[in-house]
Structure 1
Amino acid sequence: SVGDALKDRFDGASRVKMPNTELEAPAQRNDAAPHRVPRRDRYRFQLKPHNPDHKSPGSKDLVYLESSPGFCEKNPRLGIPGTHGRQCNDTSIGVDGCDLMCCGRGYRTDTMFVVERCNCT
Structure 2
Amino acid sequence: MVKDLVRRECKCHGVSGSCAIRTCWRALPPFRAVGAALREKYHRARLVVPHPPPSTHAPQTHLVIRRTRQNAGIGRQPRKSELVYLEPSPNYCEPDSATGSLGTHGRHCNRTSRGEDGCETLCCGRGYNTVRTEEETKCNCRFHWCCRVSCDKCVTRSEAHICK
Fold shared, TM-score > 0.5 on shorter chain: yes
Q: Report deviation, 1:5.
A: 2.1
Q: Any unmatched runs of 5+ in structure 1?
A: 27-43
Partner of 1:10: 42
Bigger radius of gyration: 2
User: How many residues align structurally?
Assistant: 99
Higher relative contact order (CA 8 A, sep 6+): 1
What letter is aligned with 2:83?
A: L
What TM-score do the two structures reach when normalised by structure 2? 0.50
Compare the two structures and name the one with the higher strand fraction. Answer: 2
RMSD: 2.9
Distance 1:106 1:3 in 2: 28
Distance, in Å, in 2 between the alignment partners of 1:116 and 1:47 is: 67
**In the TM superposition, what whole-angstrom CA distance separates every residue of 1:92-118 from its partner, at most 9, and x where no partner exists?**
111111111111222110224567958
Unaligned runs of 5+ residues in structure 2 are 1-32, 141-164
Q: CA deviation at 1:80?
A: 0.8
Residue 49 of structure 1, aligned match among 54, 61, 65: 65
Q: Percent identity?
A: 40
TM-score, normalisation: structure 1: 0.66
